[in-house]
Amino acid sequence: MLDAVVVGGGPVGLFTGALLAHQGLDVQVLEQRTEPIRHSRAIGIHPPALEAFDGVGIARAIVSEGTRIRHGLLRSDGRTFGSLGFDGVSAAHPYIVALDQHRTEALIAARLEQLRPGSLRRGVQVRGLEQEADHVRLQVATGHGGSGLNARMVIGADGGNSLVRSACRIDVRTTVHGDQYLMGDFIDETPDGRAAVIWLEPQGVVESFPLPHGRRRWVVRLQSPVTDPTPELLSGLIQARTGTAVAASGNRMLSGFGVRTQTAGRMVAGRVVLVGDAAHQVSPIGGQGMNLGWLDAAALAPLLPDAANGSGEAKALDRFQGRRMRSAAIAARVAQLNMAMGRPVDGYRLRGRDLLLRALLTAGPRAALARAYSMRWL
Ligand SMILES: Cc1cc2nc3c(=O)[nH]c(=O)nc-3n(C[C@H](O)[C@H](O)[C@H](O)COP(=O)(O)OP(=O)(O)OC[C@H]3O[C@@H](n4cnc5c(N)ncnc54)[C@H](O)[C@@H]3O)c2cc1C
C-alpha cells in the first residue's frame, strides 16, 4: 500500500511527486511515456512557483540554467510606449525565468530521484481506478502486461484529457476559442537582450521572450489558421508586423496552436485529487497554466499526509479546492484579457486600446499589472 500515487509525469505530476517525497511519503509517479518529450513548449516560470521550488531545493538549478526576465517592453508602430518591471514582485525571485519545458521537467525529475530513488516509473499507463473505503485501487499497464496497485491517495496530474477525471465521473466545461497562434524558437539577433517584448500591432499581437543558449521564442497571432506552417512564414509575419528581421535558417522549433479553456466541475472526489491541466486548462497566452498547476501541488502537499491516513480535517480539501478553483478562474480571465488585447484592431478601437494601455502603464496600475503577470495574486 503506497501513501500516494501521482498519475502523470508532466511538469505538475513531477513537482507533486517531489513535494510528497520531500515530506517522507511513500509515493510513485506513473508516466505512460517511456521517454520525455523534447519540446520547449511552456517556458515561463513565475516567482510564486520559484518560491515553492525553493522549499524542495529545485529553484537554484532552474534559475541558474534559465534566463531571468526582469522586465517587459510594450511596442506598437515602431515605438516602445511602456515597460513593466518585476523588481517589486518577490524578494527572492524578482524575475520570470524562461526555460524549455523539457529541461524544467528534467531538473524536477532529478530532484525527485534524489528524494525517493525509483519513484518515477516511466512506461506505466493507468487504465482505471476504483475507490475503496480507505484506499484507491489502480489498474495499470506496462510493456509486460497489466497489474494492480493500491494507494491511500491518488493525484490526477494526467493533463487536459485526464483519465483520472473521467474515472471519477467529474464533469468538465470546455470552451474552444477561435484564436490561432504560430510560435517558434529562433537564434536571437535582436538588441532586446533579456527583455520580453510585446508588439501590439493592428494585424495582431507579436510576442517574444529570451531563452537560454542565445535563442528567442516568438509567438504571432494568426489572422486565419495555417495548415502547413514554415519558419519562413513565421519570420515573414514578424518582419511585416514589427520590422524585425528574424532569419528563418535560425529556427529551432515551430508549432501552431489553438486555444481552449477547460474547467473540471471539482478537484476533489473522495481519495482522488486533480491538479494542473487535469483540473483547469487556461490559454497559453500569458504563460500561466503550468505554474497554476505547480501552485495547486504546493497547496495540496501539506494536506496529503493527514488525508492519506484518514486523520485530516474534513473541510481541509474542500477549502483547497475552493481556493485553487478561484485562482484558476482569475488566471483564465487574465489570459482571456491578453488574447483580447492581441486581436487585430483598427481605427478608433486601436486608438482606444492604446489609450487604455498607456493609462495602465502609469505608476499605480503598473505595479498591479506586474503582480498579475507574475502570478503574485494566484
Ligand atoms: C504552446 C504552449 C505554450 C505554453 N506556455 C506556457 C508557459 O510559458 N507557462 C506556463 O505556465 N504554461 C504554459 N503552457 C501550459 C502548459 O504547457 C501546461 O499547463 C502544462 O504542461 C500542464 O502540465 P500538467 O503536468 O498538468 O499536464 P501535461 O503537461 O499534459 O502532463 C500530463 C502527463 O500525464 C501523462 N499521462 C496522461 N494520461 C496518463 C495515464 N493514463 N497514465 C499515465 N500517464 C498519463 C502524459 O503522458 C503527460 O506526460 C503552454 C502550453 C502550450 C500549448
Tell me what pLDDT residue 205 has.
Answer: 95
Yes or no: domain 2-43+100-171+265-341 corresponds to CATH 3.50.50.60: yes
Q: Is the CB of 375 under 6 A from ligand 1?
A: no
C-beta 10 within 6 A of ligand 1? yes
User: How sure is the predictor about 189, in pLDDT bands with cuts at 50, 70 and 90?
Assistant: very high
Q: Which atom of ligand 1 is nearest to the CA of 140?
A: 42
pLDDT of residue 319 exceeding 80 = yes
Decide if 308 contacts 299 (C-beta within 8 A): no
Distance 237 CA to ligand 1 centre (A): 28
Place of cell 481541509: 316
* Average pLDDT for the chain: 94
Residue 159 Cα to ligand 1 middle (Å): 5
- Kindly provide the b/e burial profile for residues 85-110, where b requires at least 16 CB atoms within 10 angstroms of the residue's own CB: ebeebbeebbbbbbbbbbbbbebbbe
> SS3 for 35?
coil
Over residues 19-67, the pLDDT tens digits come to: 999 999 999 999 999 999 888 899 999 999 999 999 999 999 999 999 9
At 77, the pLDDT band (50, 70, 90 cuts) reads: confident
Contact 262, 280 (CB under 8 A): yes
- % residues pLDDT > 90 (the chain): 78
* Positions of CATH 3.50.50.60 in the chain: 2-43+100-171+265-341
Grid coordinates belonging to 361: 502603464
Query: Which residue, by CA, sits nearest to atom 5 of ligand 1?
Result: 42
Q: Which atom of ligand 1 is nearest to the CA of 158?
A: 34
Whether residue 210 has its Cβ less than 6 Å from ligand 1: no
| The three cell numbers locating residue 348 | 478608433
Comparing 210-214, 240-244, 270-274, 313-317, which segment has the lowest mean pLDDT?
Answer: 313-317
Q: Is 66 in the pocket of ligand 1 (CB under 6 A)?
A: no
Nearest CA to ligand 1 atom 4: 42
How far away, in angstroms, is 158 Cα from ligand 1 center?
Answer: 8
What pLDDT does 165 receive? 98
- The secondary structure of residue 25, as a DSSP letter, is -
Mean pLDDT along residues 193-217: 96
- Report residue 378's pLDDT band, with 50, 70 and 90 as the boundaries: low
How is domain 177-259+345-373 classified at the CATH fold level? Alpha-Beta Plaits (3.30.70)
Predicted local distance difference test score (pLDDT) of residue 12: 98
State the average pLDDT over residues 226-248. 96
**Residue 24 DSSP label:** T
How far is residue 318's CA from residue 109's CA, in Å, rounded to a whole number?
Answer: 29
Higher pLDDT, 252 or 366: 252
φ/ψ of residue 347, rounded to 5: 55, -135
pLDDT of residue 143: 87
Ranges of CATH 3.30.70.2450 domains, the chain = 177-259+345-373
Share of the chain above pLDDT 70, in %: 100
Cα(163)–Cα(327) distance, integer angstroms: 23
102 pLDDT higher than 90: yes
Residue 213 pLDDT: 97
Other CB atoms within 10 Å distance of the CB of residue 287: 25
pTM comes to 0.95
Q: What is the pLDDT of residues 228-238, one digit of tens each?
A: 999 999 999 99
Give the CA distances from residue 74 to residues 68, 77, 80, 220, 361, in Å, rounded to whole numbers and listed in that order: 18, 11, 6, 15, 10
Task: Look at residue 191 in the predicted model and tell me its pLDDT.
Answer: 95
Ligand 1 and 208: CB distance under 6 A = no
